[in-house]
Amino acid sequence: MSVTTPPEPRPVFLAPHYDDVALSCGGTVASFAEGGARPLIVTCFGGAPTGPLSDFARFQHERWGVGPDDAVRIRRAEEACAAAALGAEALWLDFHDAIYRGTRYTSDDDLFGPLHPDDRPLVDDLTAAVAALAAPGATVYVPLGLGNHVDHQIATLAGQRLAGMGRRVLAYEDFPYAGDPAGAPALQARAAEVAAGPAETRFLTPVQLEARVRAILCYRTQLPVIFRHQGDPAESTRRYARAVGSGRPAERFWPLRTNS
């Protein structure tokens, strides 16, 4: 008599913003899709702004080349394009991006600095939302928090809370922050801070790597800003993936230490 092992619940990938999962671990998403799963990509801070925009938010829209009424609609369309390229389902939560949270963050220094005290409840709210979305036994993927963007910090903290609840949580290396010239020391420092053990390297097929590249290229409004220091998005992505795998394309994941 043969025993059939039930399939693992589909994995859940948390993206602080519309683009982070495709950028950082799209090849792994594609590999799950190839295996018959339909991974779920959840954009944490996907809500449309509900009040007046700060000058900093307006500045960001100008950088993206979008109007104030079109930004979230366009970004959601880009996310749907990327999810289709990866064979995933896209879902977004209504929490607001940091630039839409009033005047808590009004400069890049604010955006990549410590969390505003009023943002602390977002960690609890996001943890609860993801716990309700991810089936028991599902692996949840969250950002490691490289680059220190406040929204990435919140997503990492939520991942640590989930790990404390007994969930299996792995952290992906936030790209392109991980590909910065000083990326290796920053990566090791961040891993020492939040990782519970050594990283797991997952090798990609050329097809999976190119699915990640195609997904990244969907984010037309974001690419000039995201890759302004790294050059061509496709080549930068391929180069870093090969660096992770010492010549073979790969993505790396870290088990998270709990913070409870």
Do 56 and 99 touch, CB atoms closer than 8 A? yes
CB neighbourhood size of 56 (10 A): 16
Q: What's the CA gap between 29 and 44, in Å, rounded?
A: 17
Supply the pLDDT for residue 192: 94
For residue 94, count CB atoms less than 10 angstroms from its CB and return exposed for 0-12, middle for 13-18, buried for 19 or more.
Answer: exposed
**Sequence-separated contacts (24+) of 56-65 with Cβ below 8 Å:** 56/99, 56/105, 56/106, 56/107, 57/99, 57/100, 60/99, 63/224, 63/225, 64/221, 64/222, 64/225, 65/221
User: In tens digits, what is the pLDDT along the chain, a chain of 260 residues?
Assistant: 444 445 679 999 999 999 999 999 999 999 999 999 999 999 999 999 988 999 999 999 999 999 878 999 999 999 999 999 999 999 999 999 999 999 999 999 999 999 999 999 999 999 999 999 999 999 999 999 999 999 999 999 999 999 999 999 999 999 999 988 776 788 999 999 999 999 999 999 999 999 999 999 999 999 999 998 889 999 999 999 999 999 999 999 999 999 85
Please report the DSSP string for 139-167 in residue order: EEEEE--TT--HHHHHHHHHHHHHHHTT-
Supply the pLDDT for residue 87: 98
Q: What's the CA gap between 193 and 256, in Å, rounded?
A: 10
Q: What's the CA gap between 85 and 216, in Å, rounded?
A: 9
Do 22 and 75 touch, CB atoms closer than 8 A? no
Q: Which domains does the chain have, with CATH numbers?
A: 16-255 (3.40.50.10320)
**DSSP category for residue 195:** B
Q: What's the CA gap between 63 and 133, in Å, rounded?
A: 33
Supply the pLDDT for residue 51: 83
Nearest Cα to Cα of residue 29 among 214, 184, 155: 214
List beta partners, residue 45.
94
Supply the pLDDT for residue 6: 53
pTM of model > 0.85: yes
